[in-house]
Homo-oligomer: A and B are copies of this chain.
């Protein structure tokens, strides 16, 4: 079990799936040894406020205040949103009154010369979170979804159009100008374990790893690089990953995801419900393992983190 002690863990993270994994991880590992590098491709400007859905989901989940569907704050109210609607404003993106406090603090920091890293750190500290959460980049790096209804921002596609349009392609228009935020490259290079969280491979993980210096640092990292499947029993636990895999011609399964990550990872972990995929998985050039990965409540998140720790420990012992 020594292989796990005092190790530096970095997690490439999207929203809900990553947040649940990080929540469990914090219980079985010193939080100050854990860094989440978080996607910002879903960020949006809401009435001129910079909103970071993935970062906020991580913060709220680790602070145990997350809403029932994994985003926003629990028991929030909507008087500001109601008033905006009274004044003739569109209401497709829902922001609660408590949630607004986050965006106001971030806004103040950004308007007074701070970076998204600065704002994120302030919000993490304000909620007494001991792990590090850092944005993948401080540069504008939006994800556009090319669909049969046209090119949509991620939130237009996912929230306004409820993920219904057929996806043909993703577009990161700024990718050539994007630099990794401070600490990202170091967190990846210096990690002992680098996780690809159980997040959407296309719109959560890819916007991070498409940043050229990030991709290079993953390839150069001495970390054990571990992917965790967001697809269980042929379906995404949350969000549009299943529909995206299908419309882009991938197999809608943990195996489909493993193939996407094959060139970048050493070990792929998927749910035991998909144990029938084991033969296919063994055809890959990477190691694969399965265990219970279902993280629907807080207790099960800790169980899953412990399961994954055990798989990694046994994998490491086999390899040495």
Contacts and interface: CB of A to CB of B under 8 A. Distances in A.
A97 B60 CA distance: 21
A105 B108 CA distance: 16
A101 B127 contact: no
B84 A104 contact: yes
Interface residues of A, number: 32
A317 interface: no
Interface string A185-225: 00000000000000000000000000000000000000000
Interface string A75-103: 01101101110111100000011101110
Interface stretch (A34-42, A43-51, A130-138, A139-147): A43-51
Instruction: Name the residue in A87, A104, A123, A126 with the highest tally of chain B Cβ atoms < 10 Å from its Cβ.
Output: A104
Contact of A112 (B48, B73, B105, B107): B48
Nearest to A110: B48
A83 B107 contact: no
Contact of A107 (B49, B82, B105): B49
Interface residues of chain A: helix, strand, loop or mixed (majority): helix
Contacts of A102: 87
A297 interface: no
A97 B111 contact: no
Contacts of A89: 101, 105
A48 B83 contact: no
Contacts of A112: 48
Nearest to A86: B101
Given A45-B111, A48-B112, A80 B105 contact: no
Interface in A103-125: 104-105, 107-108, 110-112, 123
A49 B108 CA distance: 8
B107 A80 contact: no
Contacts of A110: 48
A80 B101 contact: yes
Contact of A100 (B88, B100, B108, B126): B100
Contacts of A100: 80, 83, 100
Given A73-B83, A79-B79, 4 more contacts: A47-B108, A77-B79, A79-B98, A87-B105
15 contacts: A47-B105, A47-B107, A48-B104, A49-B104, A49-B107, A73-B83, A77-B77, A77-B97, A80-B101, A80-B104, A83-B101, A84-B104, A86-B101, A87-B101, A87-B126
